[in-house]
Amino acid sequence: MQEAVHKKEETDWRYRVFDSLSYPTLILKPDYTIVSANRKFLELFDRRLEDLKGMRCHNFFYDADTPCDFGNCPLVRVLRTRQGQTLPWKKGNRWEDRVFSPILDDNGDVAYVIESIRDVTRVKQLESELSDIKEMISRVVHSSASAIVAAD
């Protein structure tokens, strides 16, 4: 009895940690089946967990009956390499990093894959602004007829 209570407390604790993650996150099986989604994911996509459980990721994200192109699918790469993968994703004016992380079983095989969605739109905007500034400085330096002196 006490062991059952302890297991339930541990399960509840793990679920609370998963649900409190600040990034929208899915748990997937190696066969692409959605096992769970945290609160942020459900809010972002305006879905209920009951609607997602059992769906395959390609059904949900791409409305496709078959898995993604095997060469480009980060989930396939995670299964093959047992290492995390990141997929940059542009969705309208928004940029996301889709981060895939393996959960290994006792034999070192991938039992589940965590997929987190991170909004990196602001980072991409700043990178673009930095690139524009570097280009402008380069044009000024190259078009300067006289020497440019920098003093401290």
What pLDDT is attached to residue 64? 85
In whole angstroms, give the CA distance from residue 22 to residue 42.
12
Mean pLDDT, range 88-106, rounded to an integer = 91
Q: What is the sign of the dihedral through the CA atoms of 40, 101, 31 and 14?
A: negative
Residue 29: pLDDT band (50, 70, 90) is very high
Residue 9: pLDDT band (50, 70, 90) is low
CB-CB contact of 27 with 53 (8 Å)? no
Mean pLDDT, range 133-151, rounded to an integer = 73
What pLDDT is attached to residue 148? 64
DSSP symbol at 56: B
What pLDDT is attached to residue 130? 80
What pLDDT is attached to residue 19? 87
Domain limits of the chain? 2-121
Which CB contacts under 8 angstroms, 24+ apart, belong to 57-66? Answer: 57/26, 57/28, 57/32, 57/115, 58/32, 60/34
Q: Which of 56-60, 87-91, 130-134 is predicted least confidently?
A: 130-134
Whole-structure pTM value: 0.74
Residue 33: pLDDT band (50, 70, 90) is very high
- The highest-level CATH class for domain 2-121 is alpha beta
In whole angstroms, give the CA distance from residue 79 to residue 84.
9
Helix (H, G, I), strand (E, B) or coil at 8: helix
Each residue of 49-60: pLDDT tens digit?
Answer: 999 999 999 999
